[in-house]
Structure 1
Amino acid sequence: MKTIIIAGGSGFLGQVLKDYFTNKNYKVFILTRNPKSDTEIYWNGIDLGNWTKQLENAEALINLAGKSVDCRYNEKNKKAIYSSRIDTTNLLGLAVNLCDNPPKYWFNSSTATIYESSFDRPNTEKNGIIGDDFSMNIAKSWERAFNETTTPKTKKVILRTSIVLGKKGGALTPLKQLTKFGLGGKQASGNQKVSWIHEDDFTNTIQFLMDKKLEGIFNLCVPEPTNNKTLMKSLRAVMKIPFGISHPLWLLKLGAFFIGTETELVTKSRNVIPEKLLKNGYNFKYTNIKLALEGLIKN
């Protein structure tokens, strides 16, 4: 039986991947600080240990480890966001190279946030403009650490993932709560682009990359981004909520302060295109935001 190892896989995306690959008859192991079952294995993200044995002969290693960016960017959190990504990537690289038979694939998370905010100019893997602020520099450092590790027997893929919409977690959960309480209007101008991907396409993409034996950098997002205004309007329609109070920028800043997050998570215009996936023939299951939301919320 083929095995998949997911580092930092105890969260929303890790569980989505675990369910997908388990249903495809893979054996899936989660590397986590708090193992709760036979398929969860202890690691602390800092030290080598018994978990490294699971990498032998694995089909793929998928690294999702990293502190959530849904927090205030104070010095303590900035340091934790950085180290939780860079240190674990370096550790996994060392572990892969200590294997006699290392994983065939190593997928490492990155983020579509690596690109500059853009309303009119789409960012592709080849022509995207990579920016220079805290979030973008974290992504650049993350990818640099990954690229600096040479793995002769393991194909490497950087996943520049956009907002993943899923049934049991991720960005959709707080958006549904806002909408439920009549606060599901546009945020700031509402014109900012929203690059997103359905959880089914997220898992299917990883399978597709393995099947096609592809490597390199891939944007994981729908071919045409929506915008914030359309996203919130679609969400209200699907949830049958007739109105939604909009959030001007000053209110977003105030709210972000009180709930301990940053406004850029909703105000940045993420205009990202999956050029390489499309060129290699990937067919998206969901490209329309309203149809995607209907499937996630009603089913």
Structure 2
Amino acid sequence: MNIAIAGGTGFVGTALTHYLISKGHTVFILTRNVNNKKEQHPNLHYVKWLSPDSTPEAELTSIDAIVNLAGESINSGRWTTERKKRILASRINATEKVVNLISSLPKKPEVLVNASAIGIYGTSLDETFTESSKRVGSDFLATTVHTWEKEAQKAEDHGVRTVLARFGIILGEREGALPRMVLPYKMFIGGTIASGQQWLSWVHIQDVVRMIEFAITQESIQGPLNITTPEPKRMKDFGKTIGAVIGRPHWLPVPSFALRLLLGEMSTLVVDGQKVLPTKIQQMGYRFLYENLEEALENILKT
């Protein structure tokens, strides 16, 4: 298949590109600057877009799928008023451009897989959320994701099947949340974060890219799709598992008030949480590489 990726040089995009090429797909990375990109594989191409002189529709005449991962990171700085505006605008603008690109293509792609997040459900200690859950939270993350998804669904007006890939906490070796979670344990100061009862709905990066390909190729998948493991963990148990895997103690607690003082509103990413299950993709027959947290961490931290 010919697959275009917006946001293809980030954490998920890089892993997805390598995986899709390994499976025989041809990948087109949408980028503002093609001059500093080197095509290192015959099935990898860079396509200029979002520039006044760019005409991506001329190079994407036979695209089967588009994956949109573009947007400013939510966990790389304090959520000031200005930064929250950038987080929302970056997602809405990129998605709008992707939908505009779809509208300009004479041959429409079969599917758009648009990044989203489980933050749409809001936070809870006792509820369990699946794709059939109708609840939309009222906090910044939830409202941002809800607006983002509505923008992506405009692709359906062009007859394009649209999948809203609601990512959980993605675990990888060098990027994502895990390296920062592991660091205190490496320094022998790891311990329970806040109450420890908050849910952490995680997923291994290898399952993320496989689930995206699954969503592309399975024509019956449409709408929300939770990209999480079937076995979410409470934060206390997650931390204990990190300690056990790398042989470090789990003992020094970090109170929630300290995190809220340090991180402000962004502290919700670690202080609060939600229990989310990937019901839809399991019903479609997807088989996880890593359902068990200990096995996932062994793979990431010991290879």
Does residue 1:228 correspond to 2:228, yes or no?
Answer: no
The alpha-carbon deviation at position 43 of structure 1 amounts to 3.1
**CA distance 1:254–1:55, shift in 2 (3 Å):** same
Does residue 1:37 correspond to 2:38, yes or no?
Answer: yes
Q: Select between 84-93 and 146-155 the one with higher mean Cα deviation.
A: 146-155
Partners of 2:9 and 2:139 in 1: CA distance: 29
Corresponding position of 1:26: 25
Query: Is contact 1:96-1:151 (8 Å) kept?
Result: no
Partners of 2:190 and 2:48 in 1: CA distance: 40
Query: Is contact 2:185-2:249 (8 Å) kept?
Result: no
Aligned length: 294
The correspondence for 1:69, drawn from 74, 77, 84, is 74
Corresponding position of 2:183: 177
Amino acid at match of 1:136: A
Amino acid at match of 1:165: L
2:193 counterpart SS class = coil
The alpha-carbon deviation at position 244 of structure 1 amounts to 4.3
Structure 2 alignment gaps of length 5 or more: 40-44
Partners of 2:23 and 2:154 in 1: CA distance: 32
Does residue 1:218 correspond to 2:222, yes or no?
Answer: no
Partners of 2:55 and 2:283 in 1: CA distance: 40
Does residue 1:159 correspond to 2:165, yes or no?
Answer: yes
1:150 counterpart SS class = helix
**CA distance 1:179–1:31, shift in 2 (3 Å):** farther
Corresponding position of 2:244: 237
Partners of 1:228 and 1:124 in 2: CA distance: 20
The alpha-carbon deviation at position 126 of structure 1 amounts to 0.9
Aligned-pair identity (%): 33
Corresponding position of 1:295: 299
Corresponding position of 2:42: none
1:263 counterpart SS class = helix
Query: Is contact 2:125-2:273 (8 Å) kept?
Result: yes
The correspondence for 2:143, drawn from 114, 137, 140, is 137
Corresponding position of 2:267: 263
Please give the TM-score of this superposition, normalised by the length of structure 1.
Answer: 0.92
The alpha-carbon deviation at position 110 of structure 1 amounts to 0.7
Q: Select between 144-153 and 104-113 the one with higher mean Cα deviation.
A: 144-153
Corresponding position of 1:53: 58
Partners of 1:32 and 1:154 in 2: CA distance: 22
1:41 counterpart SS class = strand
**CA distance 1:14–1:68, shift in 2 (3 Å):** same
The alpha-carbon deviation at position 34 of structure 1 amounts to 4.6
- RMSD of the alignment, in Å? 1.9
Q: Select between 186-195 and 124-133 the one with higher mean Cα deviation.
A: 124-133
Partners of 1:95 and 1:293 in 2: CA distance: 39
Query: Is contact 1:117-1:268 (8 Å) kept?
Result: yes
Amino acid at match of 2:297: L
Corresponding position of 1:203: 209
Does residue 1:121 correspond to 2:127, yes or no?
Answer: yes
Corresponding position of 2:280: 276
The alpha-carbon deviation at position 16 of structure 1 amounts to 0.8
Q: Select between 148-157 and 67-76 the one with higher mean Cα deviation.
A: 148-157
2:290 counterpart SS class = coil
Partners of 2:274 and 2:53 in 1: CA distance: 37
1:262 counterpart SS class = helix
**CA distance 1:88–1:95, shift in 2 (3 Å):** same
Amino acid at match of 2:25: Y
Q: Select between 33-42 and 245-254 the one with higher mean Cα deviation.
A: 33-42
Does residue 1:252 correspond to 2:240, yes or no?
Answer: no
**CA distance 1:53–1:233, shift in 2 (3 Å):** farther
Structure 1 alignment gaps of length 5 or more: none
The alpha-carbon deviation at position 47 of structure 1 amounts to 6.2
